[in-house]
Chains A and B, each alone.
Chain A
């Protein structure tokens, strides 16, 4: 813009020159982008003409004149050609940001009027904001001759954000001799001095409320708030000897600056896990050897943080290394500059890590989080993924000779066991096989089937008319009936009936039991069927009983009915019954 303005002015002037023989009239500024409070120099130059009526002062368009106008004339004589110029100079400044236009200046040369081109000055927000002006006003009221101020680049900041404190001295005395001073106490700040070299008076005077001062920047500090809340930069006290001379050491003057407050906000919530207090604007570069490395050989891993941030307060980032790696504390090398705009540069962490065993190790990406106060959010720096393929180390192979030294398995952490995968054997809630319809059916069906089988079996047996079986099973019953009759006869003392009944019982029982006709019952048959029982004793007794009964029936010998014969009959039948049950 400046160049264009200059160019236009020059073209306009040169156009004029063609007519008026090398007369130029132009306005220039030393820069056209300034921060508020900074000076800008405006020069209006008239060459090869005399400003008879004088050149007009341009409209400064809202810019404040700090100094000027100062007029200078220049007369040169080069190669037989004379040239002369008249220059008027102003030092301007702006208190508020914005665009300011310096209007044209005019001059009358003869009959023509020359005009300069308007110049636009862009004013950005300066380091010392509006509050410092107030502070200056107050300090000026305390002592209009000598005062100093502390101004901060910001009066609101986050914890860890950089601030620049400027300590400025304003003086109207010609001569000052510093005696001693008390630096302000900085509670809750990390302070870093900005190296300004020797303290020098600024070249230009500064006009404050109509009074001109010589100004010196005594000191600049980068302040980093370490905690939240309202932090105060306490006043600075300075002792000066004013106007010392050969005869006197001067008058002592003690001045005290203002105190400055800054509201420090806590960093917003939602801090990432790897956030360690870095605030500013950062970039991360990771350099690591790529590809194959050897076991037991050191790997240099370097992390470089660069940018404008509280670099000196960074903590070394923790590497999440597998336990098979040995690592050492990183070497820190700083290339940090502290200047009026804060702390910037780079900090490099050089880690030496040594893989102890072969294998492929995937370290993932290194991440680092910082807070960006400009956007008010946390940002994450992420390196490219690191992976090392560790080959067999020469030393290890040579010394161990094929066997590895044994190390205990390290427990790195504890965690719950993993979920069950695969079939979880889900079942409807609150439903169990026990008590269900299926269970009741399963429990009752087999007995029911058994019952059915039993009934079916019995019916089939009956249908087949198992006469033999029934006769055999009924043998006992029939015999008992006869024996009951025999007992009745015994009680009646009826000999004939008694023997008859016993005989029938014994013969009938045998015939029924062994499925024979009554005629077939004889001694041989009995011997045949019962011979094995009790070494033939049963057979002999049986035959004896039958014979006795027959004898009594067919040849009625007067003989008492025998209780003994009855008992024997009962015993023998029950003995056979128990032997041939079923």
Chain B
């Protein structure tokens, strides 16, 4: 029975890796188009890949296409998306900083990573699945240590193995928690970039209500409430207002 289960486990672990090579041809075309300076064409190809697949690299490349086409708000949007998947990625951060210089609104951008690279590394860098994988390995180690401890004669080694199994169990649970946090982080849709050249922030979700202020393209806002075609946003300054959902792109 164990001989059958071990291959099964291996198969299950390798499952997410098999679906990788599908859009390789499209990707090659896109990279080539970009290399030749056909940014519009490259963008269309990347976008078609992005309908089904995603990765920090892909989002970064899309951001580059938008940047080359002069659409800096969308470039910012895609760099932010890429950073979600890969916090602290150097290239993305560099290009994002460059594009942000074009933003009109002077907002104090919250420092992106106050805890620095240590926290990034703890979050698993660009690999979203890292902690999920670690939790599985820890679970396997726990079972292995506990099993070995169960089977050997009562000695000090037995206690050592049980102790190791206990540590592995804690590690597995902690890893699973980190994985859950990471997925939540990637999946959360709590921020957006203004895409319209300028948009009025209104006091109520209704056309014609009091205009509070005007934001320009490229500015990042927090998303709060949502009502029909209206979205409540919070600015870095803390001010809150409503704008049409069509004028923003959710990160």
**Residue in B closest to A581 when the chains form the complex, CB atoms:** B154
Partner of A445, one of B9, B19, B50, B98: B9
User: A446–B31 Cα gap in the complex (Å)?
Assistant: 43
Residues of B within 8 A of A432 (CB): 128-129, 132, 179, 183, 186
CB of A476, distance to nearest CB on chain B (Å): 16
> Which chain B residues border A434 with CB–CB below 8 Å?
129, 131-132, 135, 176, 179-180, 182-183
A414-437, CB < 8 A from B: 414, 416-421, 424-437
How many angstroms between the C-alpha atoms of A421 and B60 in the bound complex? 11
Chain A positions within 8 Å of B95 at CB level: 416-417
Of the listed stretches A35-43, A150-158, A450-458, chain B binds: A450-458
Do A421 and B31 touch across chains, with their CB atoms under 8 A apart?
yes
Contacts of A464 in B (CB 8 A): none
Q: Which of B54, B64, B133, B150 is close to A418, meaning CB atoms less than 8 Å apart?
A: B64
Are the CB atoms of A431 and B20 closer together than 8 Å? no
Contact A441 B12 (CB under 8 A): yes
> What is the total of A-B residue contacts with beta carbons within 8 Å?
142
Within 8 Å by CB of A428, from B9, B19, B147, B151, lies B19
Q: For A449, list chain B residues within 8 Å (CB).
A: 2, 5, 143, 147
B61 interfacial contact with A, CB 8 Å: yes
B16 lies within 8 A of chain A by Cβ: yes
Would you call A442 and B61 a contact (CB within 8 A)? no
Decide if A407 is an interface residue (CB 8 Å cutoff). no
Residue of A nearest to B13 (CB): A442
Interface range for A = 35 or more
B136 contacts which of A442, A452, A454, A457 (Cβ < 8 Å)? A442
B148-187 CB contacts (< 8 Å) to partner A: 150-151, 154, 172, 176, 179-180, 182-183, 186-187
- Candidates A419, A438, A443; contact of B15 at CB < 8 Å: A438
Measured CA separation A426–B60 after assembly (Å): 12
The A-contacting residues of B in range 17-40, CB under 8 angstroms, are: 19-20, 22-23, 27, 31, 34
Would you call A417 and B5 a contact (CB within 8 A)?
no
CB contact list, B70-112 vs A, under 8 A = 91, 94-95, 98-99
Query: Does A582 lie at the interface of the complex (its beta carbon under 8 Å from any beta carbon of B)?
Result: yes
Interchain CA distance A427-B19 in the complex, whole Å:
7
Is A439 at the interface (CB under 8 A from chain B)?
A: yes
Which label, helix, strand, loop or mixed, suits the secondary structure of the B interface?
Answer: helix
Contact A582 B154 (CB under 8 A): yes
Separation of A435 and B180 alpha carbons in the complex (Å): 8
Task: Check A446 against B128 for contact (C-beta < 8 Å).
Answer: no
Instruction: Judge whether B58 and A424 touch: CB under 8 Å.
Output: yes
Smallest Cβ distance from A437 to chain B, in angstroms? 8
Known contacts A416-B95, A419-B31, A434-B183; decide if A443 and B172 are in contact (CB<8 Å). Answer: yes
> Taking A416-B95, A434-B131, A438-B16 as contacts, is the C-beta distance between A427 and B147 under 8 angstroms?
no
Taking a contact as CB atoms under 8 Å apart, the answer to whether B143 and A426 are in contact is no
Tell me whether B52 and A429 are in contact (CB under 8 A): yes
User: Which has the most chain B C-beta neighbours within 10 Å: A433, A447, A450?
Assistant: A433
Residue ID in chain A nearest B5 by CB atoms = A449
Q: Given A426-B49, A435-B183, A442-B13, are A453 and B150 neighbors across the interface (CB < 8 Å)? A: yes
What residues of chain B lie closer than 8 Å to A441, measured between beta carbons?
9, 12
Please measure, in the bound complex, the distance between the C-alpha atom of A428 and the C-alpha atom of B128, giving whole angstroms.
Answer: 12
Inter-chain contacts of B132 with A (CB < 8 A) = 432-435, 439
Name A431's closest neighbour in chain B (CB-CB): B16
Bound CA–CA A546/B44 (angstroms): 95
Contacts of A418 in B (CB 8 A): 64
Nearest CB in chain B to that of A441: its residue: B12
- Given A421-B31, A434-B176, CB of A450 within 8 Å of CB of B147: yes
Q: Are B12 and A443 in contact (CB under 8 A)?
A: no
**CB-based contact B52/A446 at 8 Å:** no
B151 — which chain A residues lie within 8 A by C-beta? Answer: 453, 457
Residues in A neighbouring B182, C-beta threshold 8 A = 434
Given contacts A416-B67, A457-B150, contact A450 B143 (CB under 8 A): yes
Say whether B203 faces chain A, with CB atoms less than 8 Å apart.
no
- A414 and B126 alpha carbons, distance in the complex (Å): 26
Given A418-B64, A450-B146: A425 touches B57 (CB 8 Å cut-off): yes
**A434-B179, A434-B183 are contacts. A446–B139 as well, Cβ < 8 Å?**
yes
Q: A430-B187, A443-B136, A446-B139 are in contact. Are A420 and B16 (CB under 8 A)?
A: no
Q: Which residue of B lies closest to A439 (CB)?
A: B132
Q: How far is the CA of A427 from the CA of B154 in the complex (A)?
A: 47
Residue numbers in A under 8 Å from B142 (CB-CB): 446-447, 450
Partner of B57, one of A420, A443, A447: A420
In the complex, which residues of chain B have a beta carbon less than 8 angstroms from the beta carbon of A443?
A: 135-136, 139, 172, 176
Asked whether B245 is an interface residue with its Cβ less than 8 Å from the other chain, the reply is no
Q: Which residues of B contact A446 (CB under 8 A)?
A: 9, 139-140, 142-144
Whole-angstrom distance between the Cβ of A1 and the nearest chain B Cβ: 56
B53 sits at the interface (CB 8 A): yes
Establish whether residues A424 and B9, one from each chain, have CB atoms under 8 Å apart when the complex forms: no
C-alpha gap A453/B179 in the complex (Å): 29
Given known A-B contacts A414-B98, A453-B151, A428 and B52 have beta carbons under 8 A apart: yes
Q: Chain B residues with Cβ under 8 A from A454's Cβ?
A: 147, 150
Q: Does B247 touch A at the CB level, under 8 Å? A: no
A454 to B143 alpha-carbon distance, docked (Å)? 11
| Chain A residues whose CB sits within 8 angstroms of the CB of B53 once the complex forms | 426-429
Chain A residues closer than 8 Å to B118, beta-carbon distance? none
A426 to B143, CA, bound (A): 32
Q: Does B196 contact A (CB under 8 A)?
A: no
Q: Which residue of B lies closest to A421 (CB)?
A: B31
Let me know if B91 and A417 touch, CB within 8 A.
Answer: yes
* 1/0 contact string of A147-185 vs chain B (CB within 8 Å): 000000000000000000000000000000000000000
Over the window 182-225 of chain B, the binary record of Cβ atoms lying under 8 Å from chain A Cβ atoms (1 yes, 0 no) is 11001100000000000000000000000000000000000000
The reply to whether A417 and B16 form a contact with Cβ atoms under 8 Å apart is no
Query: Given the interface contacts A416-B67, A447-B143, does A424 sit within 8 Å of B13 by beta carbon?
Result: no
Bound together, the chains give a CA A142 to CA B95 distance in angstroms of 73
Q: Tell me, yes or no, whether B1 is within 8 Å of chain A by CB.
A: yes
Q: With the chains together, A426 CA to B5 CA distance in Å?
A: 29
B154 and A433 form a contact (CB under 8 A):
no
Q: Specify which of B54, B94, B180, B187 is in contact with A427 (CB 8 Å cutoff).
A: B54
B55 at the interface (CB under 8 A from A): yes
- Which residue of chain A has the shortest Cβ distance to B101 in the bound complex? A414
Q: Flag A213-245 by CB within 8 Å of B: 1 or 0 each.
A: 000000000000000000000000000000000
Taking CB atoms, residues of chain B closer than 8 Å to A416 are 64, 67-68, 94-95, 98-99
CB pair B57 A424 closer than 8 Å? yes
Chain B residues positioned under 8 Å from A427 (CB to CB):
16, 19-20, 53-55, 128
Q: Give B146's nearest chain A residue, CB to CB.
A: A450
Annotate A404-415 by CB proximity to B: 1 below 8 A, 0 otherwise.
Answer: 000000000010
6 closest cross-chain pairs (CB), A and B: A446-B143, A442-B136, A424-B57, A434-B132, A433-B129, A420-B57
New A-B pairs, 19, CB < 8 Å, besides A420-B60, A443-B139: A417-B91, A419-B31, A419-B60, A420-B57, A424-B58, A425-B57, A426-B22, A426-B53, A426-B54, A429-B53, A431-B16, A435-B183, A436-B16, A439-B136, A442-B136, A447-B142, A449-B5, A450-B147, A454-B147
Contacts from B to A (Cβ < 8 Å): 1-2, 5, 8-9, 12-13, 15-16, 19-20, 22-23, 27, 31, 34, 49-58, 60-61, 64, 67-68, 91, 94-95, 98-99, 126, 128-129, 131-133, 135-136, 139-140, 142-144, 146-147, 150-151, 154, 172, 176, 179-180, 182-183, 186-187
Instruction: Supply 5 A–B pairs (Cβ within 8 Å), ascending by A.
Output: A426-B27, A433-B16, A443-B172, A446-B140, A446-B143
